Amino acid sequence: MNQPAFPRADGHIIADDGDQLHFCSTCAFSQACLSEGMDKRALNDLHVLVEHVGPLHAGDHVFREGDRFEAIAAVRAGTVKTYVIDPDGREHVLGFHLPGEVIGLSAIDGEHYPCNAVALDTVMLCRFSFPKMAVLAAKLPGLQKHLFRLLSRDIGRAALLAGDWSADRRMAAFLIAFSQRLAARGFSPNRFQLTMARTDIANYLRLAPETVSRVLRRFQQDGFLVVDRREVELVGREHLEELAGPVLRQ
The binding site for DNA (CB under 7 A) comprises: 164, 166-168, 197-199, 206-214, 216-217, 227, 229-230
Q: Please say which residue, 146 or 170, places its beta carbon nearer to DNA.
A: 170
Min dist CB 146 to DNA, Å, is 35
Among 13, 38, 73, 94, binds a second copy (CB under 8 A): 94
User: Residue 209 touches which of DNA, a second copy, none (CB < 5 to 8 A by kind)?
Assistant: DNA
Min dist CB 95 to a second copy, Å, is 8
Cis peptide before 7 (omega within 30 of 0): no
- Span from 33-41, 49-57, 88-96, 193-201 in contact with a second copy (CB under 8 A): 88-96
DSSP 76: E
Asked if 145 contacts 102 with a C-beta cutoff of 8 angstroms, the reply is no
182 strand-pairing partners: none
Q: How far apart, in whole angstroms, are the C-alpha atoms of residue 250 and residue 247?
A: 8
184 scored as a contact of a second copy (CB under 8 A): no
Asked if 125 contacts 56 with a C-beta cutoff of 8 angstroms, the reply is yes
Q: Please say which residue, 57 or 249, places its beta carbon nearer to a second copy.
A: 249
199 scored as a contact of a second copy (CB under 8 A): no
37 scored as a contact of a second copy (CB under 8 A): no
Among 150, 167, 226, 227, binds a second copy (CB under 8 A): 150
153 scored as a contact of a second copy (CB under 8 A): yes
Among 15, 42, 53, 151, binds a second copy (CB under 8 A): 151
Asked if 117 contacts 62 with a C-beta cutoff of 8 angstroms, the reply is yes
Min dist CB 142 to a second copy, Å, is 11
Q: 40 CB contacts (<8 Å, ≥6 apart)?
A: none
End-to-end CA distance of the chain: 41
DSSP 180: H
DSSP 25: T
Residue 127, Ramachandran bin (φ over 0: left; ψ between -120 and 50: alpha; else beta): beta
User: Residue 87 touches which of DNA, a second copy, none (CB < 5 to 8 A by kind)?
Assistant: a second copy
Cα 26 from chain centre: 12
Which residues of this protein are in contact with a second copy, per CB under 8 A?
84, 86-88, 92, 94, 105-110, 114, 134-135, 137-139, 141, 144-145, 147-156, 158-159, 161-164, 206, 245-246, 249
